[in-house]
Amino acid sequence: MDSLSGFVEKIKYRNEENGYAILSVESGGEDYVLVGTFPMISEGEYITAEGHFQLHPTYGEQLAVETYEIKTPEDSASVQRYLSSGAVKGVGEALAKRIVKKFKNDTLRILEEEPERLAEVKGISERLAMEIAGQIEEKRELRRAMLFLSGYGIRMNLAVKIYQRYGDEVYTLLRENPYRIADDLSGVGFQTADEIARRMGVRADSETRIRSGALYVLRLAVQEGHCYLPESVLRERLTKLLQLEPENLKELLAELQMEKRVVLRRTGEESEDCKVYLANYDRMELHVAAMLGELDLREARPGVRAAEALALLEEETAGPVLDETQRRAVLAAVQSGLLIITGGPGTGKTTTINAIIRCFEAEGAEILLAAPTGRAAARMTEATGREAKTIHRLLEVSGAPSEQNEGENGRESWSSVRFDRNKEQPLEADCIIIDEMSMVDLRLFHALLSAVPVGTHLILVGDSNQLPSVGAGNVLRDLIDSGCLPVVQLTQIYRQAAESDIVVNAHKMMDEETIDLGKRSKDFLFIRQNTVEGVIETMLRLLTEKLPAYVGAEAKSIQLLTPVRRGALGVAGLNPVLQAKLNPPGAGKAEREFAHALFRVGDKLMQIKNNYQRGVYNGDVGILIDINRFTETLTVRFDEEREVEYGFADVEELELAYAVTIHKSQGSEYPAVVIPVFSGPRMLRTRNLIYTAVTRAKKCVVLIGEPSYFYEMVANTKELGRYTGLADRLRELLRQEAEIE
């Protein structure tokens, strides 16, 4: 371990988000460069640091700091140097000199104990004196808090966040209820708070621990896609988390309901097992059902002469362009406030959308098109010839960087995400068409509906057999299953699509028809391999030698899709192998190893969480174009030539994307798709999973592995169930409407 002490001459670079900085430090008459995380450090301060010297290829020798301490200036010269450095706002070199000249070696004590005496110095008012003292005190208290929190294993960056949230109350709060930080702040999990509580002597069976654990389990359930948990499931999961049977759970849940943190809903008059919602999810389900009812139950306005427009369209194309079901969909779209159109690949969803657009355009109507992701929006633009936006862009998002935290009163930080388009400032359109609805979660759907005024036609299009959204809810499936809303299902496969075995076999999966894996096909291939090594070898040969020329695409644009994250055939195992083959190291090609992955310029990367500040969302894919070791940043180019910069501390938002999970591929299309079909958890070997994977391919899909596993997936119709209540809310709304009538 190397160490040095000296004055911070200059802060060459600082990342305000994570505290990473590059410092120029003078020690013993020599200048040194220090790199590391230094929150709240200022020029002029005296630092003692430990770490390891490393030789940067461009910027020379640096001390990579692991631990450091800010020393209090001890003599008048050091105090003057500190004050004149700009560390204290309002104090320049001349004023610092006058302060030290007045109080000499007693300056520091005056600053800390009698700050009002600074007003004795010419040029310092009583107000400025107290501001100076306040700044010095704040920095000292922050450092004290970080030292206190570090004793419980809390990282420096997180310690700063905790102190900024609670201030001096942090000491009392942690002693009284350390679980508050898990409830209020993202980045602090229950386990961290639980460890702090254990060290502070909190009993394992304390009510505070059980309450916090219950909220944590519910938040975790949301991340799994659930909108609520049955009380019995909550109890089971909580018992596993706490390693004890939670006593008085019903009473604690009743208290949380009174505090408006959760909502308890009985599943029936005789049932003891109630639904336990986080309060905001209960509220969203209710609001969504009510808003859908307003859109659907209003009186239809003729407004658009659909029949005439359809006749004109068919005349222009010299014959019928729509089958009877598609015509019915078009007529329903213009006659209803709300319509759901669903169908598998090749059933003419795009043709139907284009016909609906033509009908509205014939009347001069304003139409907006949107999809959940940038990739899906780009596909919609290509298919319609009209601009389509992401739903976030459509709603004009202007919000927060995180969606993971559950805050006070059961509100997640996602709720602080602001959309400029909302109930007060609704979207201005006669018709809004949303594609890839299977990807839309409850939160985003709630935000969308809030911005759709009554009188606007809302058309929702999607394949209900696709995997549900990554976020909580199963919106498209719930809307269809409710039986309360107008739905048109497209089933006919068109001639051009019928020539594709990708389309034909996708429908065979859902219709439970046998698929002949031995058939010679130009676009649906199954290669038998009975070993993991064989699967990987075949996969690499396809990606580098066979498929690029066959489909006319670069190797990096061909996507490997896998059901799992772990193991040799999971994302974690395959990405390094593919990286080495498709983007090997080379002279002048910068790379950097992080805790979770090695990144190299030219790598294909995926954003794995929504970041509203950067404007990048879960599932966005880009190419790494720059790694700057001096500024500790990397730059990724996403679609539309959009370049986004990340600090090294933020790279956990990114992962290699040569191989991605099938879940992450939703809404995307690729020239070709390669899918390993091998052993794995049965819960991840389901029909809708393999169906989703196969339908991502435009020109060719290749499955590699054992046929038995493929047939097992097709036969496994059990989906990963989600606890959602939207369908029931819609039925209840319909029942109430019937009773009123």
Main-chain phi, psi angles of 186, to 5 degrees: -75, 150
- pLDDT of 138 strictly over 80: no
Q: Are 19 and 38 in contact (CB under 8 A)?
A: yes
Higher pLDDT, 353 or 667: 353
Q: What is the mean pLDDT of residues 326-332?
A: 87
Out of 91-95, 233-237, 649-653, give the one with best mean pLDDT.
233-237
Type of residue found at 396: E
Give the Cα separation of 93 and 103 in Å (integer): 16
* Vertex 508: Cα angle to 505 and 511 (nearest 5): 160
Asked whether residue 505 carries a pLDDT value surpassing 70, the answer given is yes
Residue 326 CB burial class (10 angstroms; 0-12, 13-18, ≥19): buried
The pLDDT score that the predictor gives to residue 40 is 67
Q: Which amino acid is at 193?
A: A
Q: What is the model's pLDDT at position 300? A: 47
Q: Where are the beta strands (DSSP E) in 491-554?
A: 524-528
Q: What are phi and psi of 221, to 5 degrees?
A: -65, -40
- Model confidence at 411, pLDDT cuts 50, 70, 90, reads very low
CA distances from 741 to 298, 301, 730, 734 (A): 14, 21, 17, 11
Q: For 689-704, what is each residue's pLDDT tens digit?
A: 889 999 999 889 999 9
* DSSP element (H, E) containing 599: strand 598-600
Q: Which among 187, 479, 486 has a CA at the least distance from the CA of 331?
A: 486
Q: Is the dihedral of CA 543, 560, 556, 596 positive or negative?
A: negative
Per-residue pLDDT, 299: 45
- Separation of alpha carbons 543 and 547, rounded Å: 6
| Number of other residues whose CB lies within 10 A of the CB of residue 498 | 13
**What's the number of CA atoms in the CB half-sphere (13 Å) around residue 687?**
17
Rounded to whole angstroms, the Cα distance separating 362 from 365 reads 7
56-60, 180-184, 567-571 — which one is most confidently predicted on average?
567-571
Q: Collapsing DSSP states into helix, strand and coil, what is residue 527?
A: strand
pLDDT bin (cut points 50, 70, 90) of residue 44 is: confident
413: confidence class by pLDDT, cuts 50, 70, 90? very low
Which of helix, strand or coil describes residue 394? Answer: helix
Average pLDDT over residues 655-676: 89
> What integer pLDDT is reported at residue 305 of this predicted model?
63
pLDDT tens for each residue of 421-474: 999 999 999 999 999 999 999 999 999 999 999 889 999 999 988 888 888 999
**Which alpha helices (H) appear in 302-362, and where do they start and end?**
306-316, 324-335, 349-362
Is pLDDT at 303 greater than 60 in this prediction? Answer: no
Give me the percent of the chain exceeding a pLDDT of 90: 29
Q: What is the DSSP string of 249-306?
A: HHHHHHHHHHTTSEEEEESSTT-S-EEEEEHHHHHHHHHHHHHHHHHHHSPPP--S-H
Which of 504, 350, 369, 341 lies closest to 430 in space, CA to CA? 369
Q: What are the residues whose beta carbons fall under 8 Å from the beta carbon of 16, sequence distance 6 or more?
A: none
- Say what the pLDDT of residue 658 is: 92
Q: How confident is the model at residue 368 (pLDDT cuts 50, 70, 90)?
A: very high
Where residue 386 falls among pLDDT bands split at 50, 70, 90?
very high
Dihedral sign for Cα atoms in the order 629, 631, 636, 640: negative
What pLDDT, on a 0 to 100 scale, did the predictor assign at position 404? Answer: 39
- When the pLDDT of each residue in the chain is averaged and rounded to a whole number, the result is 83
Region 158-168 average pLDDT: 76
> Can you tell me the distance from the alpha carbon of 456 to that of 295, in angstroms, rounded to the nearest whole number?
8
Tokens of 352: 């139907």
Mean pLDDT of 66-93: 73
pLDDT at 315: 64
- DSSP secondary structure string, 44-89? T-EEEEEEEEEEETTTEEEEEEEEEEEEPP-SHHHHHHHHHTTSST
Average pLDDT value for residue range 610-629: 83
pLDDT of residue 722: 87
Q: Find out whether 592 and 634 touch, Cβ atoms under 8 Å.
A: yes
pLDDT at 401 over 50: no
Best CA proximity match to 85, nearest among 73, 96, 98? 96
Handedness of CA 132, 136, 139, 145 (dihedral sign): negative
Backbone angles phi, psi at 635, to 5 degrees: -120, 130
> What end-to-end distance do the CA atoms of the chain give, in Å?
80
pLDDT at position 408, please?
A: 35
Contact 382, 350 (CB under 8 A): no
Sheet holding 559-562, edge to edge: 524-528, 697-705, 670-677, 559-562, 659-661
pLDDT band with cut points at 50, 70 and 90 for residue 407: very low
Helix (H, G, I), strand (E, B) or coil at 42: coil
* pLDDT tops 50 at residue 633: yes
Residue 630 has pLDDT above 80, yes or no: no
The whole-number average pLDDT for the span 29-52 is 83
Q: Between these two residues, 318 and 639, which has the higher pLDDT value?
A: 639
CB 441 within 8 A of CB 472: yes
CA distances from 154 to 150, 181, 193, 203 (A): 5, 11, 10, 21
